[in-house]
Every structure is written in C-alpha cells, then in structure tokens.
Chains A and B, each alone.
Chain A
C-alpha cells in the first residue's frame, strides 16, 4: 500500500522533521565509546574463586557457631546437681531458697534465655525434693519390719531375724 493524498503530505512533514533531527544527531562513535567506558570489566577467575571461598567460609562458620550455641544451651539440663534431702530444718531453708529464686525471676533485669532455663530447672528440682515437716512422724523403729513381709515357707526361727536387733539380743541373754 502506498501513501496517497493526505498521507503523502504528512510524510513530507515527517521527512522535514527527520532531516532536521539528522543534522543534530550525535556521532555513533561518541555514544558507543562512552558506553564502553561505562562498562565494568568482567571479574577474573581468581576474583570469582576468592568470592566463592569467602561465602563458603562465612556460611560454615555461621553453622558452626549456631550448633555450638545450641549444644551449650542443652548442657545445664544434663548437669543438674544432686539435691540433698533436707532434714527437719530443711523446709525453712528450702522456703528461703525458693524465695531467693523467685526474687531472681522477679528482678526487672534482662535475663537471657539460658539463665531463665537454669532458674526453672533449679526450682523444679527443689520442688520435687520437698518433704513435709510432719513426715518424721510417719517413721518408727519398726518401719523395716512393717515394710518387709516374711515368706510363708520360713520357720519361726528364721522369722526372728525380722525382729529388731535389740530384742534379739535380749532373747539371747535371757536364754543364757
């Protein structure tokens, strides 16, 4: 399809515009050389290797530090000190210890996660070992006899061994 009528006239005006633009166009070599000057040099193989190695080392150290941190956090759970069973004076001490522990928790200091866990473990250990102050009333010298049952096929003599030592000695003396 060829231009006709108005189209030819419009094309003539565009041609005039084109001629005007062409006289003012910058040289190709000028723009091309400027673009070339702005092109960054490609990274050499050594640079690339160093870059990759650095990334690998950083990643490995990050993984190592993370695993060390997680293992150090789990250690206190395994190293719970053996708790001494308290005597009659125990409950008072325990109460004071509990109060001290709760004070630590109540302090408005910034606790780390590890410290909080340790406190919780200590408190749990103390609570599990707590004994009632009236617990002593439940114990008696014949507790061992009461807590163990004689076998049905044993003779009466053998049953003596279940008696308390003092009684056994008295019987022996009376026999003598």
Chain B
C-alpha cells in the first residue's frame, strides 16, 4: 500500500485510534497522543509495515497496543531511575473530571477496576464495534481466551455498576452502533 493511500486510511481511523490509545494509556490524554504519534512515526519509518494479512484497523490497533506497552515500560523504568514521581500517573486530568457527569465518572471508575485484558476486550467490542475474533487478533490471543475475557469482564462490570448504584438503563445520547458481535 502506498504511503499516501495509507495516510488517507489512517486519517479515517484516527478518532477510533485515539480512543484505543486512550484505553491503552489508562485514559491519560498526553500519553495517548504521544503513543499515537510514535505509531505514525513507526509507519513512516517503515518499522511497522501493513502487509494486508488482516484488516487495517486490526493491524493498527495491535501496533498501538504494543507501542503503548513499550512506552509504559519505558516510563516505569525512567521513574525507577530518577526515583521521582510515581510510575503510574493519574488516570485522567482533574479538570476533565469536573466536566464529567456522576454516571460517567462511576462508569470510568468501574472500567478502571477491571483487569487489563477484560477492559481491552470490552473496549474493542463495545467502543470500537469489533467482533470478539477481531479483538482476539488485536490482543494477540486466541478467540476462546478473548470470549472468556469478554464474558468475565461484562459480568464484573455489571456487578461493579450495580454496587455503585448506577442506573445504567437510562437512555443516554448514543452514537449509531451496528452492534454485531460474531
């Protein structure tokens, strides 16, 4: 695929990519921006090459996930060397939290409490409208494992929201979602 052609496709996927990068960076906006920029740099330098073996979105999300993990590792190492600020930054900016509704805040908290794999699977299926098989490909795990993470994550999230007393049956303004899970 030509770089100009690829650029156009990446631009179409940019919003979704940023959402996925945010999820991989525990909703840290600046970190997500940095990760996404690094991914684009990798593509430009030819370090990440799309060979058409899977969907472009699946491939791109896998690259974002890997890059985020690498960046996080580097950050932890840096903080260990400097012995300064803690490795784990706050999951989000405080000024943003003020703008969130109570329901959204509780939902984010419930999501943050999930194990990483479960949170990733739920994000890919509900947020990105990917199938469980595609989520498995992004996460580089078997479909069976992805399905297990999906079911457990869903159950745990439901329990957590019930505990918080969130009435998530309210009809929120929602974007159109095909909602097909294969």
Contact = CB atoms under 8 A, between A and B. Distances in A.
B29 A10 contact: no
Chain A interface main SS type: helix
B50 interface: no
B100 to A, nearest CB: 7
Contacts of A18: 19, 127, 175
Interface stretch (A31-39, A89-97, A140-148): A31-39
B44 interface: yes
A17 B107 contact: yes
A34 B158 CA distance: 41
Contact of B126 (A1, A11, A32, A34): A11
Given A31-B40, A35-B37, A3 B172 contact: no
Contacts of A1: 180-182
B37 to A, nearest CB: 5
Interface stretch (B7-15, B64-72, B80-88): B7-15
A28 B22 contact: no
A20 B14 CA distance: 15
A14 interface: yes
Contacts of A36: 44
Interface of A: 1-3, 6-22, 24-26, 28, 31-32, 34-36, 38-40
Interface of B: 7, 10-11, 14-15, 18-19, 22, 29, 33, 36-38, 40-41, 43-45, 96, 100, 103-104, 107-108, 122-123, 126-127, 154, 157-158, 168-175, 177, 179-182
7 contacts: A11-B174, A11-B177, A12-B168, A20-B104, A24-B29, A28-B14, A36-B44
